[in-house]
Amino acid sequence: MTTPRTANLTTLTITQPDDWHIHLRDGLALERTVPDIAKTFNRVICMPNLVPPVKTVEEAESYRARIMAHVPKAHGAEVAFDPRMVLYLTDHTDPAEILKLKNSSHVQAVKLYPAGATTNSHSGVSDLSKVYDVIAQMEEHGVPFLLHGEVTHNHVDIFDREKRFLDEVLEPLLKRFPRLRLVLEHITTGDAAAFVQAQGANVGATITPQHLLFNRNHMLVGGIRPHFYCLPILKRQSHQTALIEVATSGNPKFFLGTDSAPHAQDKKENACGCAGCYTAPFAIELYAEAFEQAGKLDKLEGFASFFGADFYGLPRNTRTITLVKNEQIVPESFAYFGDQKLVPLRAGETLTWSIQQDATHGFSS
Ligand SMILES: NC(=O)N[C@@H](CC(=O)O)C(=O)O
Ligand SMILES: [Zn+2]
Ligand SMILES: [Zn+2]
């Protein structure tokens, strides 16, 4: 019998991870979201789907300042936390904004929300041909284009929307702009994994912990579980298996993006519940569980801490974190937005890994 090399690990020290896709929201929400992610992660790609959205470099810089005001202090010093900002592409984005982005030190990428695809996407792009001149600038200047990859036509089944996006939008887009640097965000299907694998090094993908750990049965069998509902929606088990395969393969095209997306409890547990799973406080522990189940814990560091930084052309982190095989129980809820409650993914359940808390808040240098 072959035993995976990492089968009996009880501690695992890895380079500090980065989160290449997160929703921190704004205002009072930042009191919750920023400390929750900054305790473990360094660089985080802050999604711009606020109301109103973050559309210009100037707006991105002021959003970043609001985020930075909530970075916790460890022993009087601020923890290493570097939010990387993203512009929300609309039908009216000025191509000149791309050069401004290129010259800014904090704005990293541009995000496509097809209009109507997901939370706060109504100002998104109605037809990609309207923004070809902006995309041409991005290709020219090597600015990454981050995609929520789903078509939005009413007649397209929700479980087919990612696959249809690959065929109808992404393939033609890459034909027109072959050098475009592009991240297919939060992929959920074997089709998307195969598509990304077949492209050049300019195309990568992020994968969430929920799409590695769960499939649509977890959300729908034995009762409907709103806290598993996110977009793109969880798919069937064969897709989950394909995602685990690529995430744990050591292929640098696939890297960590939690898509942690808080919505207050009453907005999730609702007759028309919002899409998004909250995982920020224990995201690396969730990934560790998925990688361990696959017998591939040795591949976690590349996925979580190296490949995203390499893709974005940023230096790899130098500090480390240590995961220990100590169980932790996920709280039933967290305080959120003043007096509201936020129910995380796996509320009340036991996780197998924890972050070692030492004098430097889990970090070593
Ligand atoms: N993933 C989600 O289900 N929700 C995200 C939006 C997104 O990333 O599509 C949100 O902002 O709530
Ligand atoms: Zn999305
Ligand atoms: Zn998202």
CATH code of the domain covering residue 231? 3.20.20.140
Amino acid at 255: F
Q: How far is the CA of 315 from the centre of ligand 3 (A)?
A: 24
Atom of ligand 1 lying closest to residue 230 CA:
3
Contact 347, 317 (CB under 8 A): no
Q: What is the value of pTM for the model shown?
A: 0.96
Residue 3 forms part of a structural domain: no
Annotated binding-site positions for Zn(2+) = 21, 23, 111, 148, 186, 259
Residue 194 forms part of a structural domain: yes
Q: For position 282, what pLDDT does the model report?
A: 98
Ligand closest to the CA atom of residue 261: 1
Average pLDDT, consecutive stretches of 10 residues, N- to C-terminus, the chain (365 residues): 57 98 98 97 98 97 98 80 98 98 97 93 94 98 98 96 98 98 98 98 99 98 98 98 98 99 98 98 98 98 98 97 97 96 98 81 53
Residue 105 forms part of a structural domain: yes
Residue 136 forms part of a structural domain: yes
Residue 335 forms part of a structural domain: no
Q: How far is the CA of 350 from the centre of ligand 3 (A)?
A: 25
Count of structural domains, the chain: 1
Determine the residue of 230, 274, 336 to mutate for testing ligand 1's pocket, defined as the one with the most ligand atoms within 8 A of the Cβ atom. Answer: 230
Q: Is the CB of 231 inside a 6 Å radius of any atom of ligand 1?
A: yes
Q: Is the CB of 261 inside a 6 Å radius of any atom of ligand 1?
A: yes
Q: For position 170, what pLDDT does the model report?
A: 98
Q: For position 73, what pLDDT does the model report?
A: 86
Residue 355 forms part of a structural domain: no
Residue 58 forms part of a structural domain: yes
Q: For position 79, what pLDDT does the model report?
A: 81
Residue 310 forms part of a structural domain: yes
Q: How far is the CA of 119 from the centre of ligand 3 (A)?
A: 8
Domain interval for residue 220: 17-319
Q: Which residues are catalytic?
A: 259
